[in-house]
């Protein structure tokens, strides 16, 4: 069986599983440091802004500010973890350590490696999301019966940003390239996606643009669940996350095939 063309759809198989398990075994050696590193920033934001700014701004959209912020921190933590894994870690395995080239000497295709990296990035983000949810529960910020359902949003968010990260990974020639992604894409997205304040507070011309962002869709789905409600308009943000995840994964496959074919 030959390698697929650059624009071919991925072939369905389970050959990605050994690559995924390989990443899992390597990660287990540094699991604690990895999880702490991924959740430190959103946890500091949650505690500092939630309790600090929350004293000056008791409520936002009718709920305590720290509860409002909890959903945003949950999604931001998931996005950050998935992005770091699909950028820095995947790039190290692909370009620096040449792990991908070694794997391709086995009966694997490049698609198998990319799919494994994608699913592994989503798994790493799930660990971070669960850690943030545990903190939210332990601190009593939210103990709503719908809170566990937010794990579904965490999984979708991880899949979405893992795929987006792999697109930039395929284009990168060095670690410095990722500064553009974090500075020009992730940081503005955080401020536009309802993490710290409602999207409705943005100017009329900017709110529709912000509402179409994948992080905004994740926050829109997660916030009612964290508060203890069911998302009312859930179909649109769900379709946004699925669309970004599927489209970015296909683009990542195309860009990665093109890079290895060069």
Q: How many domains does the chain have?
A: 1
227 within domain boundaries: yes
The pLDDT of residue 3: 60
8 within domain boundaries: no
Is the CB of residue 77 less than 8 Å from the CB of residue 39? yes
Q: DSSP for 127-196? A: HHHHHHHHHHHHTTS---TTGGGHHHHHHHHHHHHHHHHHHHHHH-SSGGGHHHIIIIIIHHHHHHTTSS
- 54-87 pLDDT, tens per residue? 777 778 888 898 899 999 999 999 999 999 999 9
- 30-49 pLDDT, tens per residue? 777 766 766 777 778 777 77
145 within domain boundaries: yes
The pLDDT of residue 42: 72
- 109-164 pLDDT, tens per residue? 999 999 999 999 999 999 989 988 988 998 899 999 999 999 999 999 999 999 99
DSSP type of residue 200: G
- The set of residues, in sequence order, having a beta carbon less than 8 Å from that of 32 and lying 6+ positions away, is none
Instruction: Indicate the pTM of the whole model.
Output: 0.93
214 within domain boundaries: yes
First to last CA, the chain: 21
Q: Which domain holds residue 163?
A: 16-261
85 within domain boundaries: yes
What is the length of the chain?
Answer: 262
The pLDDT of residue 38: 66
3-state secondary structure of 2: coil
DSSP type of residue 199: G
198 sits in which H/E element: none
10 within domain boundaries: no
29 within domain boundaries: yes
- The set of residues, in sequence order, having a beta carbon less than 8 Å from that of 97 and lying 6+ positions away, is none
- 191-227 pLDDT, tens per residue? 999 999 999 899 999 999 998 999 999 999 999 999 9
Supply the mean pLDDT for the chain: 91
């Amino acid at each position: 069986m030959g390698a697929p063309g650059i624009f071919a759809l991925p072939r369905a198989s389970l050959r990605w599983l050994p690559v995924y398990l390989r990443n899992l075994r390597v990660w287990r050696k540094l699991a604690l440091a990895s999880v702490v590193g991924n959740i430190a920033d959103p946890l500091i934001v949650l505690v500092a802004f939630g309790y600090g700014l929350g004293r000056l701004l008791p409520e936002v959209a009718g709920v305590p500010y720290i509860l409002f912020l909890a959903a945003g921190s949950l999604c931001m933590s998931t996005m950050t973890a998935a992005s770091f894994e699909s950028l820095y870690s995947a790039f190290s395995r692909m370009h620096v350590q040449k792990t991908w080239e070694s794997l391709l000497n086995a009966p694997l295709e490049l698609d198998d490696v990319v799919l494994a990296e994608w699913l592994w990035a989503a798994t790493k983000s799930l660990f971070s999301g669960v850690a943030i949810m545990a903190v939210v529960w332990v601190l009593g910020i939210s103990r709503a019966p719908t809170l566990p359902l937010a794990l579904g949003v965490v999984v979708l968010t991880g899949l979405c940003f893992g795929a987006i990260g792999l697109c930039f990974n395929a284009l990168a020639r060095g670690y410095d390239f990722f500064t553009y992604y974090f500075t020009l894409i992730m940081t503005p997205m955080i401020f536009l996606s309802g993490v710290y304040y409602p999207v409705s507070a943005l100017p009329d011309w900017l709110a529709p643009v912000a509402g179409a962002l994948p992080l905004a869709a994740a926050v829109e789905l997660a916030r009612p669940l964290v508060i203890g409600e069911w998302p009312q308009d859930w179909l649109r943000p769900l379709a946004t996350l699925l669309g970004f995840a599927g489209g970015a994964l296909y683009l990542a496959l195309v860009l990665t095939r093109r890079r290895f074919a060069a």
